[in-house]
Amino acid sequence: MANMLFLITSLMMVSFFMFDKIVAYDPHPLQDICVADLNSTVRVNGLPCKDPSTVKADDFFFSGMDKPGNTTNPIGATFAPVNVRQVPGANTLGLTVARLDFAAGGYLPPHYHPRASEFLMILEGSMEVGMVVPSLGYRLLNKTLNKGDAFVVPVGLVHYQRNKASDGKKTVAFAALNSQNPGLTVLANSVFGANPEISGDLLAEAFRLDAKTVEGLQALRPQ
């Protein structure tokens, strides 16, 4: 049953990126394959191709999506992407997938992907997902997803995920993003964790906070 669910999930994710009406945010590939040369020092928008004569099946293979992530961290969750760094054969294909694991109460804080839309599917447990739509007056659209449910987050929209389960059960989900480098911007880190710091006076005024609160938030930034 688990293998069948995994197969269905994989097929759905592949189909998501093959529909004619789905537009990837990366350029279309100009050749059948362009296996990334991860050792090249050349910097382009993507990665240079290695010699086609050296291509092998393992360049398109990854093993480990079935392995749970370590959720013993402050947010009780992990986001484990699989992209061109793990699968060099994915270079130029405009695709990243990820496994998400959440302990009970675990969450991914408000964030956005500047270069990709996200297709999310629940494989185990349940999850609350919410996104903010600026064109609707910054309206929050949120939904509780259960096993087999899916949700799509458009490119650039702030969103979050969390496991609200009161029974202590974990959540496992898979995500597909239509860019080989979707980006991940966490709002709190961008605003209060900027290096060098954004002026505390400005942040206090912008967020209607007192100076000490701003200082406390900036002190929490990742080192």
CA–CA distance, 149 with 157 (Å, rounded to integer): 20
Contact call for residues 186 and 221 (beta carbons, < 8 A)? no
Q: Could you tell me the CA-to-CA distances from 46 to 25, 40, 215, 222 in Å, in that order? A: 12, 12, 38, 28
Q: Is 28 annotated as a binding residue?
A: no
Give the CA dihedral 192, 195, 198, 199, nearest 10 degrees: 110
Sheet holding 77-82, edge to edge: 77-82, 96-102, 171-177, 118-124, 150-153
Q: Is 113 annotated as a binding residue?
A: yes
Known binding residues for oxalate: 113, 118
Known binding residues: 111, 113, 118, 159
Known binding residues for Mn(2+): 111, 113, 118, 159
